[in-house]
Amino acid sequence: MATSATSKSRTSSFSRNLTAVPLSNMPGLKYGPNGTVFISSGIPDLDKILGGGFALGSLVMVMEDAEAPHHMLLLRNFMSQGLVHKQPLLYASPSKDPKGFLGTLPSPRSCKVDKDKSHDDDPEQEGLRIAWQYKKYFGEHQQTVDNTRDGKHEYCNDFDLRKPLERHFLSGQHIDCVSILHNSDLVALHDRCATFFTQFPRNDGSIASAGRIAIQSFCAPQCEYSNVEWHMLSFIRSLRSMIRSSNAVAVVTFPPSLLLPSVSKRWQHMADTLLSVRAIPDEDKELANLLTGYQDMVGLLNVHKVARFNTQVPVILDATTFSIKLQKRRFLVLECLNQAPIDSASGNSYGTSASCSSSSKTGTHLDF
Amino acid sequence: MNQRASNLLDEALGLVDEGTNPWTLSGRVLLIEDCVETSAAFLLHHLLKRALSTLSSNVVVFLALSQPFSHYDRVLRKLGCNLAAQKENKRLLFLDMLTSEFPDGGESGLVALYGKIEKVVSALIEENKKSITIIIDDLSLLEVAANGASNHVLDFLHYCHTLTSVFGCTLVALNHEDIYSSMEKPALILHLEYLADILMKTEPLATGLATDVHGQLTVLNKETWDGQGRSRNRIFNFHFRIKENGVEYFSPGSRA
């Protein structure tokens, strides 16, 4: 049974003041504080880190690492989550045939697969609870309590990257793919986005549906418009303004290394939520000594900024750097970095926000 | 309703003694600088609230490029100021410029914008409104709206500056300093820093993030007159913690 699109949300005239409560008839949406509504990023850990998910009306920007395609993992999960919830999607990419990308979208984990033994993979560690890793075990309990495991009606699915999304999710009128490869300017894309937004106007009433826009590698050099930086800035500004008055989320990824530092900073300021992904060099002995579980890490994710609407209080996270791991090589998880016990550990306790004490010649700025 | 207790910031700005000398910022230019890590929007909210809470003849012209009215309304409501009511009382003129475009280099658009502001200001002066505060949030978006014509934005700001000397307005502008730090000779920020009477800059703490201290604030107040009639620059540096209903300011290392 698909989500009942006919039922309206509760017609109460009282203003709601709920925190992170799901709308029972729209599993894809969740109320947050200060009148915000969240949709899921498609990555359970990321939703938790961001305090619920991506806020409707926000612009999420992901800074890519030219050496690794980790931003694609974020995009795929984001897009799949929207399709599972039947939220309309607009996808723009610099490839000639963006529709082909849809075939690589992951499918939600099937209910039969056992979920809760995730952290106890290593039989040796089961009996041995190492004190300095204690927080890892607390997180488990929270996970199993939060998510209601009843199949399709979850707010956030766990996506199996090895299983492609079933065909029936991809059929339908609500997916629009745009190639921005041959655009000499951004007017066409702007107009497509503007049309897309008209489906989700934000008013004080109930939310009928939410939309997702995914723009991949926005300033990719093979696109003709990419050498006119002010046009791109103008587009981002316009996207941001349009999205403010609509019930949608836009995720835009871009490689900052291809931009002038001042232009990159302007983009970063325009983002409501700002993330960056970084590759982890293979066989970096220093990092291997520094972090536990280094071998399983695929990359690093940094959270620079979290969207704050209707409030001036910033979001201060316990940690801003997370390792990207593929559990059983299929499920994307984000973990806080665990500093391995070094002989000269000068009391840099887990979870503090001081920067890493040992000198890191690789120059990676790890924030524990 | 008004919080009379002064805090470190008001002291640094010279906004003490609300009863006797309500708005000491007339004719002054305030520049607020911030960075990606530490947003200074809370300073705008504070100044907006102060500007609207003094004598009833105070009027604010707010150029909003960054957020819609609903956002400021909700934020200020938690600070104890009802923006919707002030808008109706004509004490707040809110210009929603989220989608304003200034095509063709921005010249005619910005000229028109200045013309509009100047008309409003002179009309208000005739109605005997003593203090008018112009707040711009934020300048970097004005540059984008003008399609990169920073020179025209600078000209616009110079014209707004004349309003401070001619009409005694207060001009408050927010800009993101880290955008310009990599540029060689960023005229916009350099000119503004020169013209500003008060410079406020927020930065993250050198030690990184913390839940109880959100950042550090440096206030440079040029030309403050001390008892003997001499003017001198004064620099203040303190830490702050932002809450829904206000901001705590305290000396570095203390939590007073």
pLDDT of residue A25: 67
Among partner residues B71, B208, B244, which is closest to A309 by beta-carbon distance? B71
What pLDDT shows up at residue A132? 55
Mean pLDDT within B241-250: 91
A354 closest CB neighbour out of B42, B144, B207: B207
* Calpha distance A39→A47 (Å, rounded): 9
Model confidence at A142: pLDDT above 50: no
Q: Are A316 and B211 in contact (CB under 8 A)?
A: yes
Q: Give the model's pLDDT for residue A4.
A: 42
Segment A106-125 shows an average pLDDT of 57
Reported pTM: 0.83
Q: Is the pLDDT of residue B103 over 90?
A: no
Q: Is residue A150's pLDDT more than 60? A: no
**A324 touches B252 (CB < 8 A):** no
Q: Which residues of B touch A35 (CB under 8 A)?
A: 74
Question: Is a pLDDT exceeding 70 seen at residue B124?
Answer: yes
**Nearest-neighbour CA in chain B from A119: distance (Å):** 29
Spatial separation of the C-alpha atoms in residues B30 and B18, rounded to whole Å? 19
Range of lowest pLDDT (A38-47, A328-337, B161-170)? A328-337
Query: What is the rounded CA–CA span in Å between residue A155 and residue B39?
Result: 31
- How far is the alpha carbon of A238 from chain B, nearest alpha carbon, in Å? 7
The whole-number pLDDT of residue B18 equals 53
Q: Name the interface residues of B facing A (CB cutoff 8 Å).
A: 36-39, 41-42, 45, 67-68, 70-71, 74-75, 78, 98-99, 101, 140-141, 144-145, 147-148, 176, 178-180, 182-183, 207-211, 214, 242-244
Reply yes or no: is the peptide bond before residue B138 cis, omega within 30 of 0. yes
Contact yes or no for B78 and A311 at CB 8 A: yes
The answer, yes or no, to whether residue B104 has pLDDT greater than 80, is no
Q: What percent of chain A has pLDDT over 70?
A: 73
CA distance A269 to chain B (A): 6
Mean pLDDT (whole number) for A319-333 = 87
Are B179 and A266 an interchain contact pair (Cβ–Cβ within 8 Å)?
yes
The minimum CA-CA distance between A291 and chain B, rounded to whole Å, is: 20
B71 touches A58 (CB < 8 A): no
Q: What is the pLDDT of residues B15-33, one digit of tens each?
A: 765 555 567 788 899 999 9
Q: Which residue of A has its CA nearest to B69?
A: A310
Residue A2 has a pLDDT of 41
Q: What is the pLDDT of residue B9?
A: 87
Residue of A nearest to B65 (CA): A241
- pLDDT of amino acid A80: 93
**What does the pLDDT average to over B82-91?**
91
Instruction: Tell me the average pLDDT of chain A.
Output: 78
Mean pLDDT of B135-152: 91
Q: What is the pLDDT of residue A118?
A: 45
What is the residue-averaged pLDDT of chain B?
86
pLDDT tens-digit series, residues A162-195: 888 888 888 877 889 998 888 877 889 999 999 9
Prediction ipTM score: 0.91
Cβ within 8 Å, pair B74-A311: yes
Please give the pLDDT value at position A134.
56
DSSP A279-332: E--TT-HHHHHHBTTGGGEEEEEEEEE----S--PPP--S-SEEEEEEETTTEE
Q: Are strands A26-31 and A37-39 parallel, antiparallel or unpaired?
A: antiparallel
Average pLDDT on B147-157 reads 90
pLDDT (mean) for A270-280: 94
Q: In angstroms, what separates the C-alpha of B111 from chain A's closest C-alpha?
A: 20
Interchain contact, A268 vs B145, CB within 8 Å: no
**How much is the pLDDT for A5?**
41
| Contact between chains at B144 and A265 (C-beta distance less than 8 A) | no
Which of A35-44, B41-50, B161-170, B218-227 shows the lowest per-residue confidence on average (mean pLDDT)? B218-227
Confidence of residue A148 (pLDDT cuts 50, 70, 90): very low
Residue A202, pLDDT score: 86
Are B179 and A35 in contact (CB < 8 Å)? no
Q: Name which of A58, A312, A315, A336 to mutate to probe chain B: the one with the most chain B Cβ atoms within 10 A of its Cβ.
A: A312
Of A234, A305, A312, the CB nearest to B144: A234
| Distance between CA atoms of residues A84 and A79, nearest Å | 9
Cα separations (Å) of B171 from B55, B61, B122, B130, B145? 18, 10, 15, 14, 20
pLDDT above 90 coverage of chain A, percent: 35
Confidence of residue A292 (pLDDT cuts 50, 70, 90): confident
Give the pLDDT confidence of B210-241 residue by residue, as tens digits: 888 999 999 999 876 666 777 778 899 999 99
Contact between chains at B36 and A268 (C-beta distance less than 8 A):
yes
Is 70 exceeded by the pLDDT of residue A295? yes
Question: What's the confidence (pLDDT) of residue B191?
Answer: 92
Of B75, B176, B210, the CB nearest to A311: B75
- Report, as an integer, the average pLDDT of B56-74: 90
